[in-house]
Every structure is written in structure tokens, then in C-alpha cells.
Amino acid sequence: MKNYFTITFYLLIFCTHVNNGNIINRTNNTENTNRKKTSLRNGFSSKNVPTHYVENNTETLQISDGESNKLDELLVQAQDGTDEKQNEKEIERAEKAKTGAHDAAAEASKAKDKAIEVVQQIEEGDEEGQADAKKAADKIKEAATAAATKAQEASEKATEKVNSTKEDNKSSEEAGKEAGAAEAAEKDAVFFKDVAKKVEEIAAAVAKAENARKKAEEVKKGLGEPPHGSEKATEAEKEAKQALEQAKEAAKNATETLEKTLDTIKNPKENSEKKVEETVEEEKIKEIKRLADEAEKAADKASSLKSEADADAQKEKERVAAELAAQKGRAEKAKTGAQNAATEAETAKDKAIEEVKQIEKGEGEEQEDAKKAAEKVKDAATEAATKAQEASKKAAEKENAAKQDGKSLEDSKSEACAAEEAEKDAVFFKDVAKKVEEIAADVAKAEKARKKAEEVKLEAQAIKADADKISESSEKRKGASEKATQAELQGNQAVQDAKKAFEQATQVLEKTVGSLKSTTEPLERKIEKIIEEEKIKEINRLSDAAEKGAESAKNVKIEAEIATAVAKAEAANEEANKEEAAADEAKNRAYEAGKFAKSGVKSAITKAENAANRAIDLADDAFLATKAAEEAQSKNDLDLAKKKASEAVEAAVKAKTAKVEAEIAAEMAKAEAAKEEAKNAEEEAKKAKNRMDELIKTETPELKSAKSKAENTFSIAKSQAQIALQAAKETEEAEKATLEEAQKVQLAKDKASQAVAAAQAAKDAKIQAEKAEQIAVLITKVEVAKTDAADLAKEAQTAREEAETVAAKSKSEEASITASKVAKEEAVVTSKVKEVTEAVAEVLQKAKEAVENVAPIGEETVQAIKRRADQMETELGEAKKAKEKTQKAAELAKAQAAKEEANKAKEASEEARKKATEALEAAKGIEKLVAAEAKEATDAATQAGNAATEAEKHAKEAKDAAAQAENAATEAEKHAKEAKDAAEQAETQAKKAAEATAEAAKEEKKPDATVAEVKKQADKAEAAANEAKAAHGKAEEAAELTQKQMLKLQKIIETLNVQQIITVPLGEDDDVTDSQDEVNEEGEEANEEEEFKEKAVVEYDVEMPEKDDKEEEEEEEEEEKEENGVKEETVEKDEKEEKTQEKGNDSVGEKNHPQNKQNSAPLDDDNAYKSLEGNYKSDTHDGKEAKELLKVVTSLVDSDTTVLDTFKDFEKDFSQFIFSN
């Protein structure tokens, strides 16, 4: 816009000087041509402006050539802009015309549709009086369609002209013509739209007239029925007759008018002469409308008069109608049912035909059975649908007959019954059609399976042939061939199943068609007699078998194809290894040749090395591809197996090529060494000649002879040097010869031998040395660039590998996405590096050709090499930029992975904190239990009496346990706090990691950001992640320490409970009855304990801890020791107590104690010991159960910390159990 404004302003000033832009002088066409413009349209020039154009000036205004040229350029630009704007106006005209044409075409189409819709009912009728109306309706459709079609053609033409106007090479004049054509097309479209609307008006009038005719016919028909002898009936008949005549005349007039209209549409006049009035005469339309209106009025009047005449007879009709209504309803219902059945049968037929449609399109003998079955499907489905349709028509006929006026009641009943029978027939044939549809689906399925099986067979045969070609040394070859044979056999079986299905279907359907055609009335409606159900099932079974067989054959074929690919890969791998060894041997020969030369053989030796190394790499590639193919085989991945097998074969072929290159390069090394020796001989001869030239001051015959000999020697040396140079070149070209590879190698050996025999070389020393030096500088330059490019590729690859590694390790979705981005950027680097490598190769190739060519090196050759080297530097710079993008994205991936790791550490720390918190809660609960036990033991010691010593001992142990429990609980609380602090630290570090990752993402998106800036944020994220992991470790350690303290408290409870059970004293004043009561209570509590265990197992699905044999033996030994120790103590106590205890103690009840059941006598010196021993054993047994219960609770806590919540619900019962024991 700025340029346009400047140009306009400049022109405004100029035009003011030259009298508003009038022509001043002719334009210098030569100058315009130099500016690639033919001429300025109005010939503007500013070189000579007469003075009469300048106010108050009597001299000629002179403008310099430079200013003139500048002004001309501005004028050209202004004119170009004007042309563009002019074309825009023409395009706008054309677009407007196109829119108008499209709208007109759309309106014409609507008018056509309305006209056809209006006369649709006329075409559907079949009355005798409809002939004129139908003829008119046909003309209406034809005229409306023709007008709409013409309008559409005009619309399309307008569109075409718009597109032509928009073409870039259109001049303003041509664009104007095209826009005019578009407007003309618009006028045509409007014209035909108006014609279509006129046709629509005629259609409405014809329809109205036809409706009036129908009404009049109905009136006449109704008047023909008795009793209608009244005066109104006669008048109604008269009006009806008039309506019929006018309707007929209206239809004829419409037909005549539209025939003329059609002729005009089909043979239109030129655009300027098109007139709607001439195409569709307005007076004719008015006449048709008038006739239609009058026919309508006469019909309405006739209908009204008939209604009045009918009023007298209506009562009688109503009575008859009431009696016939029921029969008509039956007939109508039967007709509807038959129609529905016929529709369903037709649908079933269409579906059946659609199922077998593809079968008919095929060619080949193998499809004959399927085609026969398909043909029978069509015949049977069509026959069933036809029969259903006939039954439906019959039902409709009977329904119409039942509804006919004047029908007697008996006749109506008969017709209704016949309609119901026809309905049953239609339903029966509908069911047959659906059965045929089922068979059609099975036939189509079988044919599809057959085709698949045939394809599998052919592919399996090809695979087997391919497998048999593989080297017999391959272990996989036999398995691949067997798999292919198996696939072929399964394919054959599937084909046979499909053919059986076709045969069964053909037989069944032939019978069905025959049965359908031979049906007689009354029809015996039994499906089995038309189509056998068992046969249908058999066809279905065979088609399913064919489908499954084909799929199975396909799968086996894929396995065979994979096995063949793997076998190929193995054979290729072996071949590649052989070529690798041969290439390495050739490289060694090249080294040997290099020992006899200085530097000339370096290129050949490098080539031999490269070829040998490439053969090694290709052998490795073949090996890796073979392994990858075997892995693909284990995964049943056909595409991957084929791909890897192809790679292995390709690697083997390339390895062979590399071997040939290495052998030829070895011969080139020999030839290059010989060429270098020849070059040295030539230089020595030249030096001798030059010295001879300097020595000769005055020529004498002898000196002339010496000089001649020196020149001859130089010529000979130079000639032999040329021979050596040519031989070396031919040695190199042997690689490109169109020969077998062995022949190429032999040719290279022959040419190298020629070079060795010649042993001479020649080259210009001064000029060519300077040129060679320049080329050497360029070679050094591109070699460095080549190394840099390789480093860039490696750095990009390293960045991609690091990104993929951290993404895979962290399983971060963000890192995975970024890793994908890194891979894309790496691909850019690879592409750019490839371009650099190609440029390096091209420079080296050109330099090599220039150095080794017999002809002198030209300056143009050196400059061409230099230009290509400069391009290579530009491409290297682009590769560096892409590499930085790769590294930045890789650092971002590291940050994202670190963020993910930090989040995981945070979540794990939070879990550890929860474990510590739960363990702490459990520890506090156990501490309360131990404290309560200590208090109870202290209270018991105060009230102990004679057993005070034992009670005090137990109280002391309980207090010690309480102190230990308090310490353990304090430690647990300390460690729980440590776990909480660690979890908070992990959360903080996770936030830092997220922030650093966000910053890394921002930096990565900045075009000017460096890799170091992104790496700085990534390092922060990684550091935060490491801190979070460390915090997680601390949280886990603190949680474990908390749990250890809780377990320590559990052991304290266990120890305290056992001691309490063992050290329960018998007071001197206590009798045995109290002990027996305690034993009974303990027995009941033991039972409650067993119930508690069962409840824990049932309700909480806890596995009771199982002891191995060793643990059980150890526990039994401990129990025996405890029993023996207690027994000894008890014996001693009994001896002391027997001295003071009186005889005749109260008897002890035998309840809940087996010993008391045997002896219920009072205690005495003989039985007291046994009673005490029994009580002790009961106590010991309960102690053992208490241990087991404690282990159950411990297993609950260890297996699931959530059990602590459940454990609290049983705290009361658990406390009672602990304290009671």
C-alpha cells in the first residue's frame, strides 16, 4: 500500500504540471524494453515538457534521463496496478453474474420439482379420463426439466467464465469479454428460470383441472347409483359434465402450449431475442387457468348438488355401511399384513441378490459353482418375493372388492376371508425369502473364503519355491518349505468346503424354485416342503468351515513367509561374512603396495580401507538384520521379518560389491605407486634438460647432439609417464566396467601390471603444482567439514539417544513427546549432514578427477571446486543450527523426565509417611496397653498378700516393660516426624523440578536461547529430582525405623504376657477352688481366642501364620523347659504348703476340667500335686495360644497397614485377652 500511495502521489504532482495527465510525448520504447516492458499504454514521457503546460514559464522544462527513467518505471507500476484493479472489477462482474446464474438455476430447479410434484398424482392414476391430463403432465415434466437443465447449463457456463476471468495471463480486454459472457450466461439462466416458473403455473392449473375432473367423475359415478332421480341429481350431472369438458380442454391447451415451449427451449434464439412471452404465451396460461377455475367451480357445484341429493339416501347407506364396516376392517387389516409381508420379502430378495452380486462379476472356471449357487439364490429369492407380491395384490383386490359399494354382506364376508388367506400366503412366502437370504449370506461368505484360500494357495506355492532356492546350509529352509506346504493344504481344504457349500446351496435352491413354481391353491404352508432347514444349517456349517480354514491357511502362510525371510537372512549373513574376509585380504595387499611409494597411493589405500571397513559393517548389518528377522519371527511380524531379510540380502550384495571395490583399490594402489615412480623419473629428465639448456651458451654440433639427446630423453620419460598415468586411470575405471565382478578384478590387475611395467610419469611441474596446491587447500577444507558434519550427526544422535533413554526410563509422557521432537530434529540434522557429505564427496571427486586427469588442470576447474566448497560451508552452518535445536529439545526431555522422577519420589515419600504415621498410631496404642498392664500389676502387688513377692516381681517387670514401651513410642514418634519432614522435602523438590522444567520449556522455545541455557534448567530439574529421591530414601528409612519400634512394642507385650501367665502365684490362703475357677475362665477365654482367630480369617481374609517343623520343635522344647521349671517350683511349694495346709479342703468341681471328671474327691496330699500340675498345663496352653494370637495380629499389621483401623475396633477385646492372661 505504501508503494501504491507513493506512485499515486508522484503521478498527481506530475499530472498537475502536464495539464491533468494529457499525452506529452511519445515514450522511448527502447528504454521500456530494457526494463522488460513493451511500452506504456498512454505513451507518457517526461523528457520534454513544453512550456505552455507550465504556468508563468516561457522556457522548455528539461528533465534529466535518470529522472525520466525513474518516472517511467513508476508509471509502469501504476499501470500494472490499474490492470490488476480493472481485472478485479471484471472478476467482480463475473462473480456477480455467476451468483445470479446459480440462484436462477436453483429457482428453476425448485420450480421444476414443484411442477413435477404437482402433476405426480396425475401420473399415478389409471382412469380412462386421465389420458389428456397425463399427456399434459408428461409435457409439463419435459418442459420443466428442459428449462431447469438449460438454466443449470447457463449457470455452469457462468462458473466457467468466472474461472477463465481469474486466469493470471488474462488482459483487461479479455477479462472483460469473459465477464460479459458470464453476464450473458446469467441472463440465459434467468430466462430459463422464468420459463420454468411459467411451466410451474401451468402445472398448478392442470392439476387443479385434473382434481376438478376427478371430482366430477366421482359425482357422475355416484349419481349412477340408486336412488338418484331427483332434480338436484340431474343438475349435478349437468355441472359435472361441464367440469369434465373444461378440464379436458384445459389439459389439451396446456399440451399444445408446452409443445411450443419445448420447441423454443430446445431451439433457443440468440440472447438478445429471448423473451419469456414468446416461449410461454401468457394468454394461453390465462386461458388454461380460466378453464381450470371454471372446471373447479363446476365440479364443486356438482359435488354440492350431489351431496344434497345424497342426503335423502344417506340414512339407508349408513345402516348398510355399519353392517359392512366390520368385514371391510378385516379385509383392510389382511391387506396391510400382506403388503408388509410382501415388502419384507422384497427386502429379503434385494439383500440376497446384493450378497451374491460380487460373485457374478468374477471370471474363471473356479467360480462356476459359486455362480450357479448365486443364480439359484436370485431365482429363489425373486420367485418367493414374486409370490409374496402376488398374494399381496390378491389381498388388496379382495380388500377393494370388500369395500365396493353395493356389496352384500355375505359377499363382503367372503372377500374378507379371501383377503386373510392371501395375507397368510404372503407371510409364508416372506419366510421363504428370508431363508433364501440366509443361504445367500452363506454362499457369499463361502465364495469370499474360497477366494482368500485360492490366494493363499498361490502365495504359499510361491513361498515354497522361494524357500527351496535358499542355500541348503540354512537351517530354517526346511521349516519354511513345510509351513508353505501346510498353508497350501489348508487352503485346498477351505476351497473344498466352499465348493461343497455351493453344491448344497444349488441343490436346495433348485428344489425351492421348483416347489415355489408348482404351488397350487389352497397353499400348504409348510416351510420344510419348500426349503429344508437341515440343509440350511449344513450350508452355514460349510461356509463357516471354509472361512475359518481360509483364515487359518492365511496365518500359516504368513508364518511360512516369515520363516522364508529368516532363512534368506541367514544365507545372506553367511555370504556377507565370506565377502568381509576377502575384502580384508585386499586391504592388506593395498598396504603392501603403499610401502613402495610416498603419497600417491594414499587415495587408493583409503579406498581399500573404506571398502574393507564397509564390508565389515555390512557383514555386521547382515548379522543384525538376521537377528532382527528372527525376533520378528518370534513376534509373528511379517512386514518386519521381510524388511530385515531384505536388509540382510542387500547387505550381502553390498558386501560383495565392497569386496570387489577393495580388490580393485588394491590394484589401484599398485598402479598409483608405479605412477609416482614415473613422475619422479620425468622430473629428473626435465631437470637434466634444463641444466643442459642453461649450460649451452654457444651451440656447437656436439652440444646440439647432447641437447637433442637430453630432449629425446625427456620426451621418452614424458611419454612413459603418460602411459603410466593412463594405466592408473584405467585401473580405477575397471570398477565401472560393464563386466562380471571377477572380470572387473582381472581387468584391474592387468592395467596395474601395465602401470608397473611403464614406471614413468609426466606432469607440468610449475603451473600444475600450483593448481594442485590450490586443490589440496580445498581438499583439506572439505575434509575438516566432513569431520565436523560427522561430529554434528553423532552429537544429534547422542542427544536423541539420551532423550529416548530418559523418556523410557522415567515413562514420562511429556518426555516421550519431546523425545519424538528430538528424533525429528535429529532427522533434520541427518538430512543436512547428508547434504554436506554429498558436497564433500562432490568436491573430492572433482578434485580427484582434476589431479589424476592427463590434461592440465584449468583455472575454471579450480574455481568450480571452490564454489562447491563454499556451498558446503553454508550447508554445514544449517546443520549446526539444527543440531543445537536437537540438543535443546534433548535437555528439555531430561528435565521432563527428572520432573516425573521427582513426582514419583514425592508420591513414594508420602506413602512412607503414611506407613510411619500408621505405625506410630499402633505404637501409641500398644504403649497405652503396656502402661495399663503396669498399673494393674502394681495394684495387684499392693493387694497380693502372701503372694506379694511374686506380684512385686511381676509389677517390677511390668514397670520396666512400660518404661521400655514409652521409650519405644518416643523413638517411633521421632522417626515418624523424620518421615513427615522427608516427605515434605520431597514435595518441595518436586515443585522445584516442575518449575525448572517449565523454565526449560520456555528456554527451548526461544530461537536465540543456547543449549547451555536449557541445560542449566534441566540440571536444576535433575538436581531437584535427586534431592527428592534422597528425601524419599530418608522417608522410607524413617518409616522402617518407626515400624521397628512398633514391632519392638509388640515383643514387649508378648514377653509381658508370657511372664504374667507363667508367674501367676498361688496364695497361701487361696484354695484350689480359686485356681480351678481361673483355669475354667482361661479355658473359656481360650475358646474366645479361637473364635477371634476364625473371625479374623473369615472377615479379614488373613492367613494364619504357619510354623515350619523347626519352629514347632523349638517352641515345644521351650514349653517343656518352662513346664519342667514350673513343675520343680511347684513341687517345692507344695512340699512347704503340705506342712501347713490342713486336710479336708473343699472339693473342687469337675466342670471344664477332665481330671476333675475322673476324681471329684477333696484334695489331699496325694491328689493336690496332680491338680496343681493340671492347672499349670492349662495356663501354659493358654500362653501358647496368646503367642499365636499375637503373631496373627502382627501378620495383619505387616501385610496391610489399613488393618490398624480394624484392629482399633477390636482393641477392647484384645486388651481383655492380654490382661486376662
Helix (H) or strand (E) segment spanning residue 807: helix 767-810
> Please, are residues 669 and 729 in contact by the beta-carbon 8 Å criterion?
no
Q: What is the mean pLDDT of residues 407-411?
A: 73
Q: What is the mean pLDDT of residues 570-587?
A: 72
Whole-number Å distance between alpha carbons of 615 and 610: 8
Candidate from 622-626, 655-659, 771-775, 1047-1051 with smallest mean pLDDT: 771-775
User: pLDDT, tens digit, for every residue of 797-818?
Assistant: 888 888 888 778 878 787 788 7
Candidate from 586-590, 772-776, 1019-1023 with smallest mean pLDDT: 772-776
pLDDT-derived band at 933 (thresholds 50, 70, 90) equals confident
What pTM did the predictor assign? 0.32
What pLDDT is stored for residue 725 in this prediction? 74
Domain ranges of the chain: 2-63, 89-313, 347-572, 1071-1139+1150-1221
Closest CA to 491 of 518, 464, 522: 464
DSSP string over 510-539: HHHHHHHHT--SSP---HHHHS-HHHHHHH
Whether the per-residue pLDDT at 783 is higher than 90: the answer is no
User: pLDDT, tens digit, for every residue of 745-762?
Assistant: 777 777 777 776 665 544
> Please, are residues 851 and 764 in contact by the beta-carbon 8 Å criterion?
no
What pLDDT is stored for residue 159 in this prediction? 93
> Please, are residues 1079 and 1173 in contact by the beta-carbon 8 Å criterion?
no
DSSP lists the bridge partners of residue 49 as: 61
The Cα-based distances of 206 to 239, 247, 513, 641 in angstroms read 19, 8, 48, 75
* Dihedral sign for Cα atoms in the order 1189, 1190, 1192, 1193: positive
User: pLDDT, tens digit, for every residue of 1089-1146?
Assistant: 454 444 434 333 434 444 444 444 555 555 554 444 444 444 444 444 444 333 333 3
Reduced to 3 states, what is the DSSP secondary structure of residue 1064?
Answer: coil
What pLDDT is stored for residue 50 in this prediction? 44
Whether the per-residue pLDDT at 445 is higher than 60: the answer is yes
Whether the per-residue pLDDT at 1025 is higher than 50: the answer is yes
The Cα-based distances of 75 to 7, 489, 901, 963 in angstroms read 8, 85, 69, 109
Whether the per-residue pLDDT at 1172 is higher than 60: the answer is no
> Please, are residues 764 and 856 in contact by the beta-carbon 8 Å criterion?
yes
Whole-number Å distance between alpha carbons of 656 and 460: 31
The Cα-based distances of 417 to 329, 343, 407, 421, 946 in angstroms read 11, 22, 15, 6, 115
- Contacts of 18 by beta carbon, 8 Å cutoff, 6+ apart: 24, 49, 53
- Cis peptide before 522, with omega less than 30 degrees from 0? yes
Rounded to 5°, angle at Cα 850 from 849 and 854: 90
Instruction: Give the chain's mean pLDDT.
Output: 71
DSSP lists the bridge partners of residue 48 as: 62
What pLDDT is stored for residue 96 in this prediction? 92
The three cell numbers locating residue 977: 516426624
What pLDDT is stored for residue 404 in this prediction? 77
pLDDT-derived band at 736 (thresholds 50, 70, 90) equals confident
Whether the per-residue pLDDT at 697 is higher than 50: the answer is yes
Helix (H) or strand (E) segment spanning residue 323: helix 282-355
The three cell numbers locating residue 989: 523438590
Percentage of residues in the chain with pLDDT exceeding 90?
4
Residue 361: Cβ-neighbour burial (10 angstroms; 0-12, 13-18, 19+): exposed
Rounded to 5°, angle at Cα 33 from 28 and 39: 60
DSSP string over 622-678: HHHHHHHHHHHHHTT-HHHHHHHHHHHHHHHHHHHHHHHHHHHHHHHHHHHHHHHHH
Reduced to 3 states, what is the DSSP secondary structure of residue 49?
Answer: strand
Whether the per-residue pLDDT at 43 is higher than 60: the answer is no
Q: What is the mean pLDDT of residues 248-277?
A: 76
What pLDDT is stored for residue 152 in this prediction? 94
Q: What is the mean pLDDT of residues 36-59?
A: 41
| DSSP assignment letter at 48 | E
> Please, are residues 1041 and 1167 in contact by the beta-carbon 8 Å criterion?
no
Percentage of residues in the chain with pLDDT exceeding 70?
65
